[in-house]
Amino acid sequence: MAEAMIGSGTVQHSLKRVIGRKVLLLFVVGDILGAGIYALVGKVAGHVGGALWLPFLVAFVLAALTATAYAELVGKYPRAAGAALYANKAFKLPFVTFIVAFAVLMSGITSASAAARAFGGKYLAEFVSLPVVVGALVFLALVTLVNLAGISESIKVNVVLTIIEAFGLVVVIVIGIYALLSGEGEPARALEFRPEGGAFLGVLGGTALAFYALLGFEDSVNLAEESREPQRDYPRALFGGLAVAAVIYLAVAFTATTLVDTQTLMTSTGPLLEVVKVAGLAFPPKLFALIALLAVGNTALINMIMASRLVYGMAKEGIVPGVFAVVHARRATPWVAILFTVAIAAALVVTGDVGDLADTTVLLLLLVFALVNVAVLVLRRDPVDHDHYRAPSWMPALGAVVCCVLALPVTGRGGDVYVRAGALIAGGMVLWFVGRLFLPGSADPSGPLDASERERPS
C-alpha cells in the first residue's frame, strides 16, 4: 500500500496507482453510457421531434471542445482534485477554487441522486412495485458498499456493469438493423424535424438536455492520481471513449425514433424498453429492464466514486477539513469522504425528482466547464517539466462560449432548476465563510497547493 509522510511525522495512507489505459477507457465509456441514454431519449425527442439524433450529435461535438481542455490539464497536473485544482492554479482565488470544487461535487451527487430516483421508474416496475424513495435509498446503500470496498473492487464492478449496459445498447442497435432489413418501422421519422419554438431554440434545448447523457467524461479526471501513466493514457482514453459513445448513442437514437412514435417516447420513463417491446426481433423485456437497471447503477457508482475522490482531493489541498482526507488503512479508500457524499445524496433523493436533478447537474457542470476552458488558456504561462497533450487554443476558447450559451434560460430549463442550483451554490458560500473561521490557511492562494508542489519529489 502506498504511503506518504506528512509534516507531523505520522504516516498518511495515499491512493494506489492501479488503473491502466484499457480500464480507464472502459471507465470513460461506462460513465457516459448510463442513465442518460436509457432515460432521456424521449425527452430529447420532445425538443426536436423524430430527428432526436441531431441534439446528441451536436452535444458530442460541443463536449469534445471541453474535453480537449481536460486532456491537457490532466497531463500537466495528474492529481485527484480535478477542476478545483485547475481553478486554483489559474486564478489564485481561494473563493473561486472552493465554489468550483463545490459545484463539481454537487453535480456528481445530484447526478447520482437522479440515477437513484430513475432506478424506481418503469424499468424497476417490470419486477417489483416499491416506493421510489425506498428503492433509491437501498440502491444508494449498495453503491456505497462497493465504493467502500476499494478502488480496484469498484473499478472491477464498473467494468462488468459497463459491459452489461453496452450490451443492452447493442441489443437496441441490433433490433434496429433487423427492423431495417425486415422493412419494419419508419426510418423517415428520423428526418422529421419538428422543433418547439423554432429550429435554433429546439436544437439548443435538445442539446442542453442531451448533455446529461454524456457528462460523465469529466469524472475520470478525479482518477488521475490512481492511474499508472495519466499523461499518456488519459487523452487516449478520453477521446476514444467519447468516439465510442458517440457511435453507440447515434445508432440507439436512430433505432428508437424509427421503431417508436415520438409521442410514446416522450411520455415513457423507460423509452428503450418501448423499443424492445415493439421490435420484431424478440428479446425478453424483463431481461432488458434488468440491463437498464444495472446501467443506471453504473452511473450512480461512477458519480459517487468521483464525488468522494473530489472531497478527498480538496481535503489534501487544505480547502476543506483534513478529516475528509483520511484513507482506510486496509482498503485504501477515502471512507470519511464517501460517507459524507452519500449522506448528501440521500437527502437529495428524498427531496428531488429525476428531471430536476438531471437539469441541475447539467447547469452546474456547464458553469464549471466554462471556467475550465478559460483556465487551460491561462495556465499556458505555467509550463511543466514533462510532456503532455496540448489542445488547439481555439477549441477551449470556443468551448467556454458554448458552455455559457447552453447555460442560458433560452434552452428551456424551468426556473426551479436555476433556483435549486443557486441554493446549492449559496450553501457552498456559507461553507466557505465557515471554513475561513476554522481553516485560516485555506484563505492563502499560495498555501496548501503550492506547498504540496514543493514537497513532491522531482
pLDDT tens per residue across span 310-365: 788 777 766 667 778 788 777 677 888 888 889 988 888 888 777 778 888 889 99
Q: What cell numbers appear for 364 in the block?
A: 452546474
Residue 149: CB partners within 8 Å, gap ≥ 6?
331, 333
Average pLDDT over residues 137-150: 81
Q: What percent of the chain has pLDDT over 70?
A: 84
What is the rounded distance in angstroms from the CA atom of residue 396 to the CA atom of residue 372? Answer: 8
Q: What is the pLDDT of residues 306-323, one digit of tens each?
A: 788 878 877 776 666 777
Q: What count of other Cβ atoms lies within 10 Å of the Cβ of residue 453?
A: 11
- Report the chain's C-alpha Rg in angstroms: 21
Question: Residue 455 pLDDT > 60, yes or no?
Answer: no
Q: Amino acid identity of 324?
A: F
Mean pLDDT across 173-196: 84
Residue 434 burial (C-beta neighbours within 10 Å; 0-12, 13-18, 19+): exposed
Tell me the percentage of the chain whose pLDDT exceeds 90: 11
Query: In this model, does residue 217 exceed pLDDT 80?
Result: no
Of 140-149, 217-226, 239-248, 412-421, the range with the lowest mean pLDDT is 217-226
Q: Would you say residue 448 has pLDDT above 50?
A: no
pLDDT given at position 452? 39
Which of 73-87, 153-167, 191-205, 381-395: highest mean pLDDT?
A: 381-395
225: pLDDT confidence band, cut at 50, 70 and 90?
Answer: low
- Mention every residue, 6+ apart, whose C-beta is less than 8 A from residue 422: none
Per-domain boundaries in the chain: 17-450
- Mean pLDDT, residues 140-163: 76
pLDDT top residue among 7 and 57? 57
Q: What is the mean pLDDT of the chain?
A: 79
* Contacting residues for 9 by C-beta, under 8 A, at least 6 apart: none
SS (H, E, C) the chain: CCEEECCCCCEEECCCCCECHHHHHHHHHHHHCCHHHHHHHHHHHHHHECCCHHHHHHHHHHHHHHHHHHHHHHHHCCCCCCHHHHHHHHHCCHHHHHHHHHHHHHHHHHHHHHHHHHCCCHHHHCCCCCCHHHHHHHHHHHHHHHHHHCHHHHHHHHHHHHHHHHHHHHHHHHHHHHHHHHCCCCHHHHHCECCCCCHHHHHHHHHHHHHHHHHHHHHHHHHHHHECCHHHHHHHHHHHHHHHHHHHHHHHHHHHHHHCCHHHHHHCCCHHHHHHHHCCCCCCHHHHHHHHHHHHHHHHHHHHHHHHHHHHHHHHCCCCCHHHHCCCCCCCCCHHHHHHHHHHHHHHHHHCCHHHHHHHHHHHHHHHHHHHHHHHHHHHHCCCCCCCCCCCCHHHHHHHHHHHHHCCHHHCCCHHHHHHHHHHHHHHHHHHHHHHHHCHHHHCCCCHHHHHHHHCCC
- Look at 240 and 427; give whichever has higher pLDDT: 240
- Name the more confident of 66 and 133: 66
Residue pair 146/294 in contact (Cβ under 8 Å)? The answer is: no
What pTM did the predictor assign? 0.79
Fold for domain 17-450? Amino acid/polyamine transporter I (1.20.1740)
pLDDT over 50 (residue 3): no
CA separation for the pair 161, 148 (Å, rounded)? 17
Mean of pLDDT values over 61-67: 90
